[in-house]
């Protein structure tokens, strides 16, 4: 999907960027190749992170948030003093999962999109 969307000759995104004067060719430009890999990796992982954070937010008891509101805490104060500390186990879990993904699961994206090029700028150790 990413290879088709960002193809320099047929891609929808490269055509749209061309209308703004941006010459997109991730096969020749190492910065654009790295941007493509980052965008694809973030797109792949963001849904997992969203679901885990949503589950973490839903597991916080409403009574704690209501107690903070009764004590006079505003929305920002309730988030930073009540919800954010209670999300720390979820945040740590996702940090570990995303680091493991970054080191060991990006080979497929790199291989499909750039094959390690241009000039081995996106080559990985695997």
- DSSP-assigned states of every residue in 2-18: HHHHT-TTT-HHHHHHH
Mean per-residue pLDDT, 19-38 = 83
pLDDT band for position 65 (50/70/90)? Answer: very high
pLDDT in tens, 104-115: 887 777 777 777
Residue 58 has pLDDT above 80, yes or no: yes
Question: For the chain, which residues make up each domain, given as ranges?
Answer: 2-113
Asked if the bond preceding 95 is cis, omega within 30° of 0, the reply is no
88-104 vs 30-58: helix axis angle to the nearest 10? Answer: 150
| 68: pLDDT strictly greater than 70 | yes
C-alpha–C-alpha distance, residues 25 and 115, integer Å: 14
- The fold adopted by the segment(s) 2-113 is MetI-like fold (1.10.3720)
The model's pTM: 0.75
Cβ neighbours of residue 81 under 8 Å, at least 6 residues apart?
68, 73
**Reported confidence tier of residue 126, pLDDT bands at 50, 70, 90:** low
pLDDT score at 86: 96
User: What number is the average pLDDT over the span 28-45?
Assistant: 85
């Amino acid at each position: 999907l990413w290879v088709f969307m960002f193809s320099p000759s047929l891609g929808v995104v490269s055509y749209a960027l061309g209308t703004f004067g941006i010459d997109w060719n991730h096969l020749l430009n190492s910065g654009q190749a790295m941007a493509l890999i980052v965008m694809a990796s973030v797109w792949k992982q963001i849904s997992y992170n969203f679901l885990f954070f949503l589950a973490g937010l839903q597991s916080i008891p409403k009574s704690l948030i209501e107690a903070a509101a009764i004590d006079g805490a505003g929305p920002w104060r309730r988030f930073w003093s009540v919800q954010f500390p209670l999300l720390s186990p979820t945040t740590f879990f996702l940090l570990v999962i995303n680091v493991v993904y970054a080191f060991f699961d990006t080979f497929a994206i790199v291989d499909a999109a750039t094959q390690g090029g241009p000039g081995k700028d996106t080559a990985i150790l695997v």
